[in-house]
């Protein structure tokens, strides 16, 4: 699709609870390179017990714990995308055969409660570095996302939820959170 389109954004859902962070950062960087700056991540924490079982767990990780894992996960991928390679790390020197200067690539040395990633990002910086981020959670979304999903069965419920989100984000702006705008869409057939 990326090869035959110019304006289509590729939004991919990936779980902060189950997807392996290092590989996740690599996948998004690769798709960003291939699509020419057109990848987005729908960040989800995975709330279904069936998902937990399919990933080899007996039960779902508790709600607040999932969001603590998600916060640490985002710290790791931000560090890989934004902090691992300097802007001038890619040298592409044909004469010497050197593609990147290892002195300009840093190991992230992350060792947290849930995640350990000692190394550098495997991919050179992609056009966006960090993909466009979507999320459905209010607080987590305000902290990390550029767009928030609001879901409801009826347009008037979407309007109500959007008003609540606007109030929250207005208050959150004082705490350093920044959501540029909330767009609303509802299908007539729901």
**pLDDT tens profile 18-52:** 999 999 999 999 999 999 999 999 999 998 999 99
**pLDDT tens profile 128-183:** 999 999 988 777 887 888 887 777 677 777 777 777 766 666 666 555 555 554 44
Question: Residue 100: enclosing H or E segment and its boundaries?
Answer: strand 98-100
pLDDT at 141: 82
pLDDT at 156: 73
pLDDT at 24: 95
Average pLDDT over residues 100-129: 96
Domains of the chain: 2-149 (3.20.20.30)
169 alpha carbon, distance to own chain's centre: 19
pTM score, whole prediction: 0.82
pLDDT at 185: 40
> Residue 190 pLDDT more than 60?
no
Q: DSSP states of 126-182 as a string?
A: PSSSSPEEEE--HHHHHHH-SEE----SSHHHHHHHHHHHHHHHHHHHTTT------
Q: How far is CA 26 from CA 13, 101, 102, in A?
A: 15, 19, 18
DSSP reduced 3-state for 25: helix
Main-chain dihedrals φ then ψ at residue 27, nearest 5 degrees: -60, -50
């Amino acid at each position: 699709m990326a090869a035959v389109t110019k304006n289509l954004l590729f939004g991919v859902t990936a779980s902060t609870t189950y997807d392996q962070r290092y590989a996740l950062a690599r996948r998004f960087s690769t798709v960003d390179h291939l699509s020419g700056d057109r990848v987005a991540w729908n960040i989800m924490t995975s709330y279904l017990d069936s998902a937990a079982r399919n990933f080899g767990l007996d039960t779902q990780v508790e709600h607040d714990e999932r969001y603590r894992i998600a916060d640490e996960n985002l710290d790791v991928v931000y560090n890989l995308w934004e902090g691992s390679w300097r802007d001038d790390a890619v040298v592409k020197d044909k004469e010497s055969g050197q593609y990147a200067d290892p002195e300009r690539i840093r190991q992230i040395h992350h060792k947290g409660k849930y995640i350990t990633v000692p190394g550098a990002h495997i991919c050179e910086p992609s056009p966006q570095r960090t993909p466009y981020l979507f999320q459905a959670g209010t607080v987590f979304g305000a902290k990390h996302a550029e767009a928030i999903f609001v879901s409801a069965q009826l347009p008037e419920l979407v309007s109500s939820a959007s008003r609540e989100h606007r109030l929250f984000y207005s208050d959150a702006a004082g705490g350093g959170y920044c959501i540029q705008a909330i767009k609303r869409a509802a299908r007539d057939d729901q």
